[in-house]
Amino acid sequence: GENVEQHPSTLSVQEGDSAVIKCTYSDSASNYFPWYKQELGKRPQLIIDIRSNVGEKKDQRIAVTLNKTAKHFSLHITETQPEDSAVYFCAGLQGAQKLVFGQGTRLTINP
C-alpha cells in the first residue's frame, strides 16, 4: 500500500521568508496529492491540491510542485505571515479510495 513520508517535522522561519515542506510517496499509481493546514484546536482544512497530470499549481502565496519520476511533492509558502503558523499535512490517494497522510510539519513564523 501507499506510504507517505513528510519532512521536516518542525520548521521555523522568519516572517517574510519562504517555507518549503517536502513529501515522498511509494505508490506510483497514486494520482492525487492534497495539502491540509490545521490551526490549533481547529479541523484540518484543504489549502491546495494537485493531480498527477500537472507538475505545479499555484494559489497566491502557496504553490505545490510534483515530481512523478522521483515520487515526491512539495509545498512552498512565500512571504510568510504569522497566520501561516500551523501544522501542515500532505497526503497521497491510495487506490482512489483512501488518503494516506504524512506525519505532519509544525510551521512557526517568527515575527
Partner 1 sequence: EADIYQTPRYLVIGTGKKITLECSQTMGHDKMYWYQQDPGMELHLIHYSYGVNSTEKGDLSSESTVSRIRTEHFPLTLESARPSHTSQYLCASRDNGPQHFGDGTRLSIL
Residue 58 binds to partner 1 (criterion: CB under 8 A)? no
The residue from 21, 104, 107, 109 that contacts partner 1 (CB under 8 A) is: 104
Residue 110 binds to partner 1 (criterion: CB under 8 A)? no
CB of 4 to partner 1, least distance (A): 11
Residue 98 binds to partner 1 (criterion: CB under 8 A)? yes
CB of 34 to partner 1, least distance (A): 6
CB of 3 to partner 1, least distance (A): 11
In sequence order, what DSSP letters do the residues of 20-89 get, joined into one string?
EEEEEES-TT--EEEEEEE-TTS--EEEEEEETT-SEEEETTEEEEEETTTTEEEEEE-S--GGG-EEEE
